[in-house]
Structure 1
Amino acid sequence: MCRVLDVSPSGYYAWRNRTPSVRSATDAALTERIEAIHQGTGETYGAPRIHAALRDESWCVGRKRIARLMSSAGLQGITRRKGTFTTERDKGRRSEPDLVERDFTADAPNELYVFDTSYIPTWGGFLYLAVVLDVLSRRIVGWSMATHLKSQLVVDALDMALCQRQPEGVIHHSDQGCQLRFKELSRRWRASVDGLGR
């Protein structure tokens, strides 16, 4: 075995008979305490809360070390934050054609806009953010924020892009979330463009 592992027999026996280091002994004791706290909280606490509990018990240990020991022991906290989705497929709606054919490049400004929504968790709930991006410059040309994920959120972002840039013949690409209601948006977009005489 020593020949295969390329270690000397004396080195192997010294390692086997060596007492654990102070760090290893502390890690073992700390892991035991972490497991006890984790079990006592119904296996819900993660590294930050276990770190706070140990600090209250006068342990002087860093959060990263706790996270490492928890990972080695196979312990994991439970997050209670509910996720949210900003894209929902409307199965009853016919798919719109992909006019860009997955080629997200443009040769001129106001030629291709892409759109997406995201959410920002706050103490009061989720805020939804809609942005319209000009593909050529990668600049945000329109945005809106609201506490809901309805068509008006998208319309407001598109209206801002229209007012700021006043584009002619722009292609607007987005995912197929049912909240977009493309027929309504297309109608309003065309009406706005026609109103500007474009």
Structure 2
Amino acid sequence: MTELGLKVRYPKKFKVTTDSDHNDAISANKLDRQFTLKAPNKAWTTDITCVWTIEGWLYVAVVIDLFSRQVVGWAIDDHMRTSLCLNALQMAFWRRKSEPGRLQHSDRGSQYASIEYRIHLAIMKMEQT
């Protein structure tokens, strides 16, 4: 390999992006891993991932309907702040016209546990789990 000028590329170490070590309140897990639902728009789940692009790393927040497994809201930005998650949630809310009592499931990351995010859920009459 040296003669050909080739070098080994080692995979990068996995980077943990979920900050579960925060002082914000944690919601009870009401879904309890029961992700099979009988009707659409009863529960949504959320997550953030990072994607390498020509512009560098970008973060994608998605909101997925647990019944249909369709992405109902999304947002892309160069940061992982609460506003990224709120933009995805607001898109889903306006596209699907939220019903009172809808469950919104997420990990225990600081963005989803923040007061700002919880206020928006309360305004939308959604229950966090």
Structure 1-normalised TM-score?
0.56
Give yes or no for the alignment of 1:146 onto 2:77.
Answer: yes
Counterpart code for 1:108: A
Q: Residue 117 of structure 1 aligns with which residue? A: 48
Unaligned runs of 5+ in 2: none
Residue identity over aligned pairs, in percent, reads: 31
Report matched runs for 1:37-52 at 5 Å: 37=2, 45-46=7-8
Note closer, same or farther for the CA distance 1:124–1:85 as it changes in structure 2 (3 Å cut): farther
State how far apart, in whole Å, the 2-side matches of 1:190 and 1:177 are: 18
Report matched runs for 1:36-185 at 5 Å: 37=2, 45-46=7-8, 77-79=9-11, 84-168=15-99, 169-185=101-117
Q: Alignment partner of 1:121: what SS?
A: strand
Counterpart code for 2:42: E
Larger radius of gyration: 1
Note closer, same or farther for the CA distance 1:106–1:182 as it changes in structure 2 (3 Å cut): farther
Q: Alignment partner of 1:163: what SS?
A: helix
Q: Alignment partner of 1:172: what SS?
A: strand
Question: Superposition RMSD on alpha carbons, in Å?
Answer: 2.5
Partners of 2:64 and 2:71 within 8 A in 1: yes
Q: Alignment partner of 2:89: what SS?
A: helix
Partners of 2:102 and 2:125 within 8 A in 1: no
Q: Alignment partner of 2:48: what SS?
A: strand
**Count of matched residue pairs:** 125
Would you tell me which structure has more strand in proportion to its own residues?
A: 2
Q: CA deviation at 1:145?
A: 0.5
Q: CA deviation at 1:106?
A: 1.1
Unaligned runs of 5+ in 1: 1-33, 47-76
For 1:191, which of 107, 113, 123 is the aligned residue? 123
